[in-house]
Amino acid sequence: MGEYEQYLKSAIDIAKEASKILKPAFYSLASTLEKESNHADLVTEYDRRIETFIFTQLQQKFPDHLFLGEETQSLQKTHSILDKVTDEPTWVVDPIDGTTNFVHGIPSLAICIALLIRQCPVVGVVYNPITDELFHAAANSGAFLTSPTLPKDPTTGSTTHRLPLRKPHRLGPLRDMLVVTEWGSDLREKTVDAKAAMLKRVMVEGPVRGIRGWGAASIDMCYVARGAGDAYWEAGLHVWDFAAAAVIVREAGGVVVNWDKQKHEGGDSVRFEVLNVQTRNVLVVRGSHGPQAETEVADVVNSLRQFLDLTAIELK
C-alpha cells in the first residue's frame, strides 16, 4: 500500500457519501440559488451542505489536519479552518465544481477532495455522481478512472482502469492538438477582452485543431488526464478548483505548471517545476510516449506560454 493510500480511500468513501446529497438535488431541480457579488459566480444551499458534510467527516478521521474549502474560506479563520494554504497537511474541498452546470441541469460537475502536504497536492478525488465517473490518484501510485461505462476486467469484473485510457500518441505540434479552457466567472470587460485575445492567438497563430470546455476545471483537467484533451489552461482559479485534478494529471503522466515559469525541484525538466498553488492559474499538458516524450511536453508548455499573458488579466 502506498504512503497516501489510507487518505485516498477515506476521500473516495466521503465523496461517495456526499454524492447522496448532490445527486437527488441535481434531479429535483429544487436547489436554492444565491448570487454572490458577481452574477456569474453562483452558490447554492447544496454547496454549503456538501462542504460541511465533507469537512465533518474528514475532521473525525484526521483531527490533526487542517481544512480549506470554497465556501468556508470566507469564514473567520479557526484552529482548523483556513483562509489560505499552509505547509501543514491540509484538505482542500470544492463541494460542487461546476455549480453553474448544476443549476442549469448540465451533468458536468464534480465533488473534489484533495490533500496537500507542504502545499503540494498528494491525494486527489474528482467524482461526478451524475455520470458515476470517479477519478482518483495518490502521489507515486498512479491515476485511475472507475466508471460503469468502461469495459469490465474479464478476471475481476472491475471497471477501474489506469489513466490514460489509451497509450499516449505523439504530443504536438499545436495544429494537431485539442485544447481545453474556460471563460471563468470573471466577466468584466477587461478580463473578457484579455482572454478573448489570448484565445484568438492560440486559434489563429497556433493554430490548434479545436477548443473544448466542460464547464468545470476539475473535469477539464481529468479529461486531459484520460487522454481526451491534449492541454488545458485557465486563470482566475482557486486551489480548490484544481488541486485534486492536479494529482490525477500528474499520476497519469502529464504536467501541471503555472503560466509563468517557477523554480525546479528534483530535476531540470518542466515536470519538476514547482506548482505554486497560491497563484491562481494553471497550465496542463498530457503525457507523451517514446524517447522524445519529455522534450515534446516541454515544447508544448513553452509554445502555449507564449500566448498566455498574466499581465493582461486583473484577477479579482
Q: Report, as an integer, the average pLDDT of 128-145.
A: 98
What integer pLDDT is reported at residue 36 of this predicted model? 55
Nearest CA-CA partner of 33 in 20, 23, 46: 46
pLDDT in tens, 162-215: 999 988 888 989 999 999 999 888 888 888 899 999 999 999 998 999 999 999
What integer pLDDT is reported at residue 44 of this predicted model? 77
What integer pLDDT is reported at residue 94 of this predicted model? 96
pLDDT in tens, 26-65: 988 655 555 555 554 556 788 889 999 999 999 999 999 9
Range of weakest confidence among 72-76, 126-130, 162-166, 285-289: 72-76
**Rounded distance between C-alpha atoms, residue 165 and residue 151, angstroms:** 11
What integer pLDDT is reported at residue 31 of this predicted model? 56
With 90 as the cut, is the pLDDT of residue 130 above it?
Answer: yes
